[in-house]
Chain A
Amino acid sequence: MLTVYAADAGSDMLAFILRRLVQSVIVMLTVALVAFALFRFVGDPIASMVGQETTLAERAELRDALGLNDPFVVQFGKFVARASTGDFGISYRLQQPVMELILSRLPATLELALVSGVLAFVFGVGFGVYTALRRGNWLSGTIMTASLIGVSLPTFLIGVLLIWVFAVELQWLPSFGRGEVVQVGNWWRTGLLTESGRASLILPAITLGLYQMTLIMRLVRAEMLEVLRTDYIKFARARGLSNRAVHFGHALKNTLVPVITITGLQLGSIIAFSIITETVFQWPGVGALFINSVRFVDVPVMAAYLMLIALVFVVINLVVDLLYYAVDPRLRVDRANARH
């Protein structure tokens, strides 16, 4: 019986993984279709390439040579093939290869996202544990109220207010840019190694991480309160374990699985909100590049960013789904039931 069950679960798992993979590919192809349609239908590529004195015959020749008369499917196929090697053409506005532009700005975005993610996780878990253990004292009350305000403030307003207080009034921290950056390796320019770079990072990182922090904090608090009521905590106390061992060794450990999953899923949101944060702080990252491309209808950059974002989200969700499936056996049964 047991082997039958295992085999069954194995094939079910395989089917699940396959289904998720197919779904991911369909999503990517749909986004690619939108990106391609942008290229194909916004403006005339020939008109933007040639001068006024080019004759109609020469234009037609060029059109043919560039493959613009090929059937739609063939053109789309070529687009996907080139996109998958990272070739999105040249930015209309900046006259540079799009992939080069994105790669040169990616370190700034990744450093910002990473630092704010770490901030959100550390402070979120810390505050969450504190407010759960010290329920009803004035500090937890303050933290909870502040978190409510943090959730309801739009990201851009948080950024503007932080600039006002810490850059304009107190003049402690810079209000824009990355500060001094240092070249590390061929591709990476980091602001983490200089003092002005780190100072410049503080306000954007808080702006970007605040929402995630409040989310994690509320989650940790709720989970902690739940776990602290369970029998095994009472049992651990009855065995005479110290408060510290009970709270951190038993309670916190058991709250961390959902917290880590949510944090993983929030990575996507961090990237989304980095567009806003980067614009507020004039942070030279990919998000600011995208906003400018929307403003000036710079199609190659828009298309590339669209595909990049879709890829990030598809990968994150796929990984989280698969991890879930691997970690939580109940889910396997649920999913199996839901499908049939």
Chain B
Amino acid sequence: MQETTGKPRLNAVARAWDSDVAWSFRHSPLAVIAAFVSILIILAAVFAPWIAPHDPFNPATLNLMDGFTAPMEPNQFTGNVYWLGTDNQGRDVFSTILYGARISLFVGFMAVLFAMVLGITLGLIAGYRGGWVDSLLMRVADVQLTFPSILLALLIFGVARGFIPPAYREAMAIWVLIVAIGLSDWVQYARVVRGATMVEKSKEYVQAARVIGAHPAKILLRHILPNVMGPVLVIATIGLALAIIAEATLSFLGVGVPSTQPSLGTLIRIGQGFLFSGEWWILLFPSITLLALALSVNLLGDWLRDALNPRLR
């Protein structure tokens, strides 16, 4: 919305610093902490190959003798010390968490992107066109909203898995998962965008654009879309937390990502198996990471909702 082109760059930064949202961010310690934690985990996941002390997926770097090393204690055979211990195959738990968070975040971001694009497109069309397209889409949305989204993601995943030839099931699992989680969560975007579009389309600037003969697609994307992005951003942030939890849940149930690419949920499932033999660290650290990630993204979303809502100021 803000026109910054053609002005000195410093000015744009200064203006962003002075904006309402930035002010509200600086004055909300919880949001600052949440942002810090999320960015830390995201950066750690992105740069995992450079940060991680070991590559947990390269068998050549693993030593089975290192298996079941407790955190911060030297291994009884090799004397190696691991911050967060190792699992049964001698994989460093810290490294598996970094790589796991990478997969969790990838699935989360892609699922949100998919849901967002789908929801925005359908919402724009429904709101702008109205008529039977609108009532059909909103009826579908109503029905879908009566099902919990995690159940839908599970059902879509199961059905989609059935349709894929067995040879490709493992390779496609991550993409099927993304589509399943995305499809279970597009309704929120569609409803918000539809409502905002209906309000915007009767305003004068849209009518002016229509009068000069602009193509409907151009009106929707260039004029209406920027004005409905605020609430979409809020839904997307909270949606990311939900998508990460959905992915973790499905992977925990053993129907999500393949075991060759363990996400945080898979790591928790693996860790649960070692609870009874006393290796608590294999379960605890991935759980804490998942929780910290989901919680901080969620808090960030809550803050953004309040910050972007002028009625709450």
Contact = CB atoms under 8 A, between A and B. Distances in A.
Interface stretch (A148-156, A191-199, A245-253): A148-156
Contacts of B216: none
Contacts of B268: 156-157, 160
B249 A154 contact: yes
Given A269-B148, A294-B161, A302-B158, A156 B252 contact: yes
A75 interface: no
B186 interface: no
A159 to B, nearest CB: 9
Interface string B267-305: 010001001100010010001001100110010000000
Contacts of A37: 163
Nearest to A290: B158
A71 to B, nearest CB: 21
A317 to B, nearest CB: 5
A272 B151 contact: yes
Contact of A153 (B147, B150, B154, B291): B291
A34 interface: yes
Nearest to B246: A154
Contacts, number: 93
A339 to B, nearest CB: 10
A23 B144 CA distance: 12
Label chain B's interface by main secondary structure.
Answer: helix
B158 to A, nearest CB: 4
A336 B88 CA distance: 64
Contacts of A152: 291, 294-295, 298
A275 B154 contact: yes
A156 B159 contact: no
A157 B287 contact: yes
Given A152-B298, A276-B249, A291-B254, A160 B291 contact: no
Contacts of B252: 156, 276, 279
Interface in B107-164: 139, 143, 146-148, 150-151, 154-155, 157-159, 161-163
Contact of A275 (B146, B151, B280, B295): B151
24 contacts: A23-B143, A38-B162, A38-B163, A42-B162, A152-B291, A154-B245, A154-B248, A154-B249, A156-B268, A157-B268, A157-B291, A160-B272, A272-B147, A272-B151, A273-B150, A276-B253, A291-B253, A294-B157, A294-B158, A295-B255, A297-B162, A299-B162, A302-B158, A306-B155
